[in-house]
């Protein structure tokens, strides 16, 4: 089970008082996937991880955590490099934006 799926399962469970240690551990796992050098929350091939971005904005909004909010904004800023100004739309991952590697995969 991926950390994001496990996080969704825990969030769907009834609330208990205090923060569940399992939830804290999952937040830490998702936070560890953040890599500002590669564009924020992205997979190995450069594809953005939408669930992690959603979590970052939710934590920033609901908990008032500026670090999570900054992570979400950094990932969205990195996603601007995925805009295909020639063919229109968006590239799926960062390597597709490299003109030396031709490919026309689009969502």
Take residue 97 and report the two structure tokens written for it. Answer: 């934006």
Predicted local distance difference test score (pLDDT) of residue 2: 67
Predicted local distance difference test score (pLDDT) of residue 74: 92
CA distance 103 to 41: 23
Residues of the chain with pLDDT under 50: 16
CA distance 57 to 42: 15
């Amino acid at each position: 089970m991926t950390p994001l799926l496990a996080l969704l399962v825990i969030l769907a469970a009834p609330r208990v008082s205090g923060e569940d240690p399992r939830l804290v551990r999952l937040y830490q796992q998702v936070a560890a996937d953040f890599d500002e050098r590669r564009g924020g929350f992205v997979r190995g091939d450069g594809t953005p991880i939408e669930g992690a971005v959603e979590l970052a904005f939710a934590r920033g909004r609901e908990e008032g955590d500026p670090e999570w909010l900054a992570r979400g904004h950094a990932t969205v800023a990195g996603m601007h490099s995925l805009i295909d100004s020639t063919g229109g739309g968006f590239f799926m991952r960062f390597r597709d934006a490299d003109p030396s590697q031709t490919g026309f995969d689009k969502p």
